[in-house]
Homo-oligomer: A and B are copies of this chain.
Amino acid sequence: MTRIAVLGAGRIGKIHAANAAASRHASLVVVADPFGDAARSLAEQLGCDAVSNPLDAISRADVDAVIICTPTDTHVDLMLAAARAGKAVLCEKPVDLDIKRADTAVAELEALGVPVMLAFNRRFDPSSIELRRAIDAGDIGDVRQVIISSRDPGLPPLDYLKHSGGIFKDMTIHDFDMARWLLGEEPVSVMAVASRVVESTLSELDDFDTLMVIMQTESGKQCHINCCREAVYGYDQRFEIFGSRGMLLNENLRPTTVRRYTAEQTESRQPLLNFFLERYADAYRAELEAFLTALRDGRPMPVTPKDGRQALKLADCAVESVRTGRMVKVD
């Protein structure tokens, strides 16, 4: 039974706290949030303590592990604080928006030797797990091309976007991680284009809403990613893995399998699950269990801060490619 503190009581914090409270392998001890009300309300609902200062949660003797769901710019400090206190860590993506800070953090975390997992939830979606399992089983031979489509249902509020770090680091970072994981090799070159076809005023933030990336590995495997901040038909999350002996595709999820035929619609289905909290509900649960299992068994974490750093690096390269119009080599 791992005793858990959840730092941050926003929408992701709530998910992790509820999953920790419901897990057979964890007990939720405390929730921390500077907005005391948010923490108190969540704690009351789940039957645990509430504090406003995350450091107070980290330092508690009855806490074995912390889940960091606070704003991005606090990730590094809180990971390090927890790790220095000897607490295991599950930290939301990204490590940081700055690659140098991320590098420094990764180095110190590795030196501390405390178990730290980065929360790339999509790797734990049942479809993703089946894709990876089938690849590992050799069902499609050698991977040749990976195609990732990733579109959000709607543009986030401007206020969110201002602090997001830009679409590549905020949204596409998930796809960069999936690309690495599904390719099974590190991309060595990155090319990208980006535009503002949803919201032209994003130019003021030096940000984009629509993008395409292509990457290639040393051995010649290729990956394409496309993203858009707005898809009227909902949260679109698809993967295609093309290999020497076959191809794997997943589909978007819907609430049920019901299909409808009317005079106006033929074979239409229910709308896609919206948004990530709903679409990846199973993945968040499986992610936490994977963390708890690795902890319990003393085995390596399935996703590491280094993975977070690599995804960030690819995002940086893509941004540079858009800026320079060149292929960017990944160091």
Does A60 interact with chain B (Cβ within 8 Å)?
Answer: no
CB-based contact B265/A247 at 8 Å: no
Extra contacts besides A266-B268, A267-B268 (9): CB < 8 Å? A140-B262, A141-B232, A151-B242, A212-B224, A224-B226, A226-B242, A246-B262, A250-B259, A266-B270
Q: Residues of B contacting A248 with CB < 8 Å?
A: 258-261
What is the size, in residues, of chain A's interface with B at 8 Å between Cβ atoms? 78
Once A220-B197, A232-B263, A269-B267 are accepted as A-B contacts, the answer to whether A145 and B242 lie under 8 Å apart by CB is no
Enumerate 6 A-B pairs (CB-CB under 8 Å) in ascending A order. Answer: A126-B256, A195-B222, A214-B214, A232-B262, A266-B270, A266-B271
CB-based contact A222/B212 at 8 Å: yes
Q: Residues of B contacting A223 with CB < 8 Å?
A: 212
Does A186 interact with chain B (Cβ within 8 Å)?
Answer: no
Q: How far is the CB of A238 from chain B (nearest CB, A)?
A: 9
Q: Residues of B contacting A219 with CB < 8 Å?
A: 195, 197
Contact mask A16-44 → B, CB, 8 Å, 1/0? 00000010000000000000000000000
Q: Residues of B contacting A271 with CB < 8 Å?
A: 266
Q: How far is the CB of A252 from chain B (nearest CB, A)?
A: 7
Scan residues 210-225 of chain A and give those whose CB is less than 8 A from a CB of chain B.
210-216, 219-224
Does A300 interact with chain B (Cβ within 8 Å)?
Answer: no
CB-based contact B261/A145 at 8 Å: no
Partner of A268, one of B192, B226, B268: B268
CB-based contact A260/B246 at 8 Å: yes
CA distance A222 to B109 in the complex (A): 40
Does A272 interact with chain B (Cβ within 8 Å)?
Answer: yes
Once A144-B210, A219-B197, A325-B327 are accepted as A-B contacts, the answer to whether A257 and B253 lie under 8 Å apart by CB is yes
